[in-house]
């Protein structure tokens, strides 16, 4: 498995934990040239990419109008560049190799999974950039899977609710409790491995195609 992430410390940790199964590449997914170079290296080592999970993202919190004035376009751009351009950069870099690869007995060549968010549907105050980027991933699912079906490539999107990952490392425990309370059942945040189970199911089961699956214990967030 090859992972593109900015975080070298986490990458090294995972490499020592998983050994040969995991290769960290320090890549800023918002930079097309960095993604292209890394994909060429991955293809040279492992052959065409068959499974893509686009999960790198930043929260880019910002209100259209805050006490500091109108939204910073730097923050907005960063949210869109990482969360929306990032997946596009990865998809455009792998798709030619995937489409040219040998299909399995079902004609399938690969699967692309984009990670959106419940914020694509019920964005909260301060999520202008984040919701815009995640909503775009949900909307792109339809044209992408329709286009790529002819190549035997599936496209799915997953929209998680609240999962207890490092994204919440610096968030006060009270806020995490508040989020957990908004899950209908189970009344807790999701565990990373429960997210992984859905990714595995989508990869293994070829009948998953062209949809966005919400994974959120029935949580519907309020305005803020
Ligand atoms: N955890 C949740 O509750 C939750 C809810 C909804 C959606 N999501 C989505 O799930 C995905 C995974 O989130 P997570 O909770 O594991 O967050 P996380 O912060 O733990 O992981 C995000 C990763 O993206 C990397 N990253 C950030 N900018 C990058 C860039 N420019 N190039 C390459 N890597 C970059 C970070 O280093 C980090 O390792 C994200 O797309 C996130 O929006 C998470």
Q: How confident is the model at residue 171 (pLDDT cuts 50, 70, 90)?
A: confident
Q: Is the beta carbon of 163 within 6 A of some atom in ligand 1?
A: yes
- Indicate if 60 and 22 belong to the same structural domain: no
- Indicate if 109 and 161 belong to the same structural domain: yes
For residue 179, report the distance from its CA to the centre of ligand 1, in Å: 17
Question: Domain span at residue 22?
Answer: 1-47
Q: Is the beta carbon of 29 within 6 A of some atom in ligand 1?
A: yes
Higher local confidence (pLDDT), 63 or 171: 63
Pocket probe for ligand 1: among 79, 165, 176, 178, the residue whose CB has the most ligand atoms within 8 Å is 165
Report how far Cα 98 is from the mean position of its chain's Cα atoms. 19
Average pLDDT over residues 102-114: 98
Report the alpha-carbon angle 121-134-158, nearest 5: 80
For residue 57, report the distance from its CA to the centre of ligand 1, in Å: 4
Q: Counting atoms of ligand 1 from 1, which one is nearest the CA of 166?
A: 20
Average pLDDT over residues 62-71: 97
- Indicate if 105 and 27 belong to the same structural domain: no
Question: Which pLDDT score is estimated for 143?
Answer: 98
Question: Which pLDDT score is estimated for 224?
Answer: 85
For residue 215, report the distance from its CA to the centre of ligand 1, in Å: 16
- Token pair of 23 as six digits: 């290769």
Domain boundary among 47, 66, 83: 47
Q: What is the CATH number of the domain that holds 85?
A: 3.40.50.720
222 part of a folded domain: no
pTM over 0.95? The answer is yes
Which tens digits make up the pLDDT trace of 181-217?
999 999 999 999 999 999 999 999 999 999 999 999 9
């Amino acid at each position: 498995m090859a992972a593109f992430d900015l975080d070298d410390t986490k990458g090294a940790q995972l490499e020592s934990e998983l050994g040969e199964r995991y290769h960290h590449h320090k890549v800023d997914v918002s930079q097309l040239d960095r993604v292209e170079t890394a994909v060429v290296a991955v293809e040279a080592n492992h052959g065409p990419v068959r499974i893509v999970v686009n999960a790198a993202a930043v929260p880019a919190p910002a209100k259209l109008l805050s006490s500091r004035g109108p939204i910073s376009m730097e923050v907005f751009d960063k949210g869109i560049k990482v969360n929306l351009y990032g997946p596009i950069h990865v998809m455009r870099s792998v798709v030619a190799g995937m489409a040219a690869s040998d299909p399995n007995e079902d004609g399938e060549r690969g699967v692309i999974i984009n990670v959106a968010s419940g914020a694509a549907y019920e964005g909260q105050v301060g999520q202008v950039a984040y919701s815009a980027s995640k909503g775009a991933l949900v909307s792109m699912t339809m044209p992408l899977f329709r286009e790529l079906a002819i190549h035997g490539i599936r496209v799915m999107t997953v929209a998680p609710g609240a999962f207890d990952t490092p994204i919440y490392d610096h968030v006060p425990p009270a806020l995490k409790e508040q989020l957990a309370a908004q899950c209908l059942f189970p009344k807790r945040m999701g565990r990373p491995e429960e997210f992984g189970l859905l990714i595995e199911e989508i990869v293994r089961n070829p009948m998953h195609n062209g949809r966005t699956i919400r994974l959120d214990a029935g949580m519907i967030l309020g305005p803020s």
